[in-house]
Amino acid sequence: DTDAEQALLLYAENGFFTECYALFLERSEYISLETASRLASLMAYSGTVDPALYPLSIRLILSAVKSVDTPLSSDVLKNMYPRFYAEDISKACEKYELSEYLMYALVRSESLFDKNVVSHAGAIGLSQLMRPTAGDVARKLKVTEYDLTDAQTNAEFGAFYLKELTGRLEGSVMLSLFSYNAGITRVRSWVRNDSGLPIDLFLETVPYSETRDYGRKILSAAAFYGYLYYGMSTHDVVAMIMH
């Protein structure tokens, strides 16, 4: 639908992103992937002014690729797996010695880079931290006042918490990710009853379907980030997480 594509591009190029997104959803099956990727890029670029456009740009491109049966280009993949809030995430990862591709995967999976999102359970911001967890982190970091909708603060708290979980679980990144989602007490209980299964099989036997899906989602996202931005093979990323 060339008329719809032209209208979409005019909307996006002139900053009418709400109208653009609504029209895209209405006509998505008739919009080329090339145009959809261009729209996502324009939204992402404008996210520096309006951060609400960051998650919108990802949702748009994810919707666009659903019915595509051809290989996806690097540009499309980078729209699907962007590095928003790069400075904040990079600083947090450097401070707590975390791999950036892992932190990007966590933030994308948790919040789709929506710094203001609050879940039904009450988790807040990029890293989706619960208030009691954030309070505990703040106490350990000796921070008295903080705002979990601030990207820098949330990224730092999330990185600190993930690093702490990894240390408490003998360096297991996969178990720390499970704990981030389901709580360390549950994960330790599952480990006690796993009969010594390798970590990849353990992933498939986790009692909570939400946590199983979470583990797969993080693993996939981290592999893409490692491949797209850090010159790693997907095998290397998976091996690091499954260690």
Give the whole-angstrom CA distance, residue 36 versus residue 129: 32
- Helix, strand and coil in the chain, % to nearest 5: 70, 0, 30
Nearest to 107 by CA among 120, 121, 92, 122: 92
Q: Which amino acid is at 105?
A: A
- Catalytic residue chosen out of the listed positions 13, 19, 87, 110: 110
pTM metric for this prediction: 0.94
> Are 237 and 112 within 8 A, CB to CB?
no
* pLDDT per residue as tens digits for the range 152-198: 999 999 999 999 999 999 999 999 999 999 999 999 999 888 767 88
When pLDDT is averaged across residues 39-56 and rounded to a whole number, the result is 96
* pLDDT per residue as tens digits for the range 74-119: 999 999 999 999 999 999 999 999 999 999 999 999 999 999 999 9
Task: Give Dmax (Cα) for the chain.
Answer: 60
Give the whole-angstrom CA distance, residue 176 versus residue 214: 12
Relative orientation angle of helices 184-192 and 173-182, to the nearest 10 degrees = 120
- The alpha-carbon radius of gyration of the chain (Å, integer) is 19
110 is catalytic: yes
CA 197 to chain centre: 28
Reading the block at residue 93, the tokens are 């990862």
